Amino acid sequence: MAKRGWTWVILTLVSLRFLVVVVAAQTPPPIASSCSGLTITPQKTAYDPGETVTLTASAGIGVQAVPFWYRQVTSDLRTEGWILIGNGQNQSGQIWTITWQLPQANGEYIIAPSLAYPNSWVCTSNPGYTCPGCHTGTWHQWPQEPAGIYACNGCYRVVAVNSALSASETYRVTDYLNLKSGNSWTFTGYNEFGPAPVTFKTRFSVDEQSQICGHKVFGWRITKDKPEGYWGPKYHDDNTSGLENNRGFFTVAEASEPWADDGIGMMFNKGYMFDESLANPIASSGASLLNQGRGLNTRHFVDDDLHFFTNTYYAPYFAIPSQVHNGWRAAYEDMLYTTNGTLATGTYCDHLYVPGAGHYFDTSWWVTTVETPAYIGPALRWRAFEAGLPLGGTRWATREDNYFAPGIGLVRLDKWSLKWLCKPPGESGSNQACWDLGEGVTDPGSEMYPKMQLLLANYYIGEPLVVSLDKDYILHQDNYALSAVSQNSSQPYTGKLEVKWCLGEGRCEPTNQKIWDDWHGNQYWLQDGTIKVQVNESSSSPDRTVHMYFRPVVEKVPPDDLTGETVITKTQLPWSNEVILQVVSVLPTATPIPLPGDLNGDRRVDYLDVLGFMDGLPNQTYNLMDFNRVVANYGEVS
């Protein structure tokens, strides 16, 4: 070992006494390290649980031994938890191999061989340290020289285990999530986290696809009508206000990302202000909370061109594979990085690796059935438990069970508040909802009873709308009701509408188009398929015939965004049928339509018409055909 020098540091204490502290000045290792590659045979994108593979490391000259280590990829690779696979066998020259049986649990695992040199120096291929150049490995000489000071040239690989690869029956998750721009789902729900139960409405919708910091994502927009609603419900954990809405950004089968092309995950979250003062809060996401000291603005991945051991197969955060089987499960640690910088400061897209305590996620998928006001039938239940690390103590913890129906999307959501209630797996004393994989129950006295639940009330999934008006004519100061339902599913539509229109007595081609609003620029909002529209014009305004077509609005990035998010698609949803509204100064007089069988002209067919028929028989006023009309329409009213 190289001769060690000493640095003397004198610290002045508050008492004006002096303390001499001796600190060792580390000396760099006197040798170079080299690992030119680590291969896995057979080479696959992902592996079955327990599959046997051969690991081969190509080490440099002077290496005396190569022990192979592994662990599940975590938020901090510098901590304990590495497991020895075994010592590699020197095949020829500097080629070292070992046979390994992969773990049974789904997830991503990092393999990091250590290169042992003379004088007890070891180059560990652990890339989790942040010293300069240590993303390829770090030297240590235990116990004199700890790891994380000097970089070395190690080599590591990440392998993914996925039990769905060889399952006999699988389900394609994208068919259940149905994350397509323009789709929306409206829910009714209850919140029992607070002092008294509160009912609310929540709406989920998928924005236009956008690009954030070079990544293509779909915005998952969530708004509500009350602070107690979802997302960020009041009284859940320590949330005392509930004054937040949310947009989560999904990567969906995106080939440009390093994870599997068909993987699904969430890359960013952005928080928005829930505005209680609005007449209809569910219609607005609210102002951005970025850089306001509160609100959820996070990312869930690393993108610094140095650290490549996270999200190599499973997409960030939710880590949803394209296919799952009944009981598919994965538990892992990742990071929630705050992103409170802005594009203007040049910091929002700094997606650096920062090791830390991290975030725990336990996710599983189950085949089930579900019953809601808008859907009854088969579903996939996605059980998602997440918590801050370490588990237990005062760290936050929550569980959500999301139910997805094929071809529709989210149809039910159950939520539990589990802060302080979840011990690490295997320890006693946890709330049942922490680790029980079963569904929620309806008994309020059970720990498996969800104190928040959302049930699907109506949805829109890209169909043309069938629009109708309750009046053909209205006065210049009058109102009318518009109704809109989906053409095939007959689902009432909730949300904003885009309108195109033209004026003319006969057929005309629409040349005007905008988001449908009133004379003051306030955008109309249909709730559960209907809206009452007030027309306030001068009685001297010209009469006109308006031809209108409608379609749902596809939301996009709010105008106050500070992150550089840009829209990259322009979804063209189908237009509705034509509706015609005539705005007039005087309503036309209705001409009664003759009612068959109404012999006395009182606009109804009743016993008086029977008596009239009998009175008319002697002078042949009526015949048998008249009697048949009376019988066929008896009870009708014009």
CATH of the domain at 553: 2.60.40
Give the pair of three-digit tokens for residue 605: 């067919």
Is residue 242 located within the same domain as residue 150?
A: no
In a domain, 7, yes or no: no
Give the pair of three-digit tokens for residue 477: 């100061």
In a domain, 6, yes or no: no
In a domain, 413, yes or no: yes
In 3D, which of 590, 518, 576 has the Cα closest to residue 547? 576
Is residue 100 located within the same domain as residue 59?
A: yes
Is residue 229 located within the same domain as residue 356?
A: yes
Is residue 289 located within the same domain as residue 418?
A: yes
100-130 pLDDT, tens digit per residue, is 999 999 999 999 999 999 888 999 999 999 9
The secondary structure element, H or E, covering residue 205 is: strand 198-212
Give the pair of three-digit tokens for residue 537: 């014009």
591 Cβ contact partners less than 8 Å away, ≥ 6 residues apart: none
Predicted pLDDT at 293: 59
Is residue 382 located within the same domain as residue 480?
A: no
Dist CA 429 CA 62 (whole Å) = 52
What's the number of domains the chain is made of? 4
**Which one of 562, 584, 606 terminates a domain?**
584
**Which one of 161, 196, 212 terminates a domain?**
161
In a domain, 29, yes or no: no
Is residue 209 located within the same domain as residue 351?
A: yes
Dist CA 229 CA 221 (whole Å) = 14
At residue 381, the 3 state secondary structure works out as strand
Is residue 233 located within the same domain as residue 370?
A: yes
Q: Which regions of the chain are under pLDDT 70?
A: 1-28, 30, 293-295, 340, 590-592
In 3D, which of 134, 30, 35 has the Cα closest to residue 78? 134
The length of the chain is: 638
| Burial tier of 31 (Cβ tally within 10 Å: 0-12, 13-18, 19+) | middle
**Which one of 131, 161, 191 terminates a domain?**
161
Predicted pLDDT at 286: 92
Peptide bond into 406 cis (omega under 30): no
In a domain, 113, yes or no: yes
Query: CB of 453 within 8 A of CB of 190?
Result: yes
- Please give the residue range of the domain that contains residue 73: 35-161
Q: Which residues pair with 465 in a beta bridge?
A: 486
Is residue 325 located within the same domain as residue 208?
A: yes
Predicted pLDDT at 624: 81
CA angle 175, 331, 322 (to 5 degrees): 20
Is residue 354 located within the same domain as residue 211?
A: yes
Q: How far apart are the first and last CA of the chain?
A: 108
In a domain, 322, yes or no: yes
410 Cβ contact partners less than 8 Å away, ≥ 6 residues apart: 177, 185, 204, 402, 403, 404, 456
In a domain, 25, yes or no: no
Predicted pLDDT at 591: 66
In a domain, 498, yes or no: yes
Is residue 543 located within the same domain as residue 620?
A: no
Dist CA 514 CA 118 (whole Å) = 75
At position 322, the amino acid (one-letter code) is S
| Burial tier of 306 (Cβ tally within 10 Å: 0-12, 13-18, 19+) | middle
CA dihedral 374, 377, 380, 385 (to 10 degrees): 60
Is residue 337 located within the same domain as residue 289?
A: yes
Is residue 257 located within the same domain as residue 117?
A: no
Q: Which residue carries 């019953």 as its tokens?
A: 371
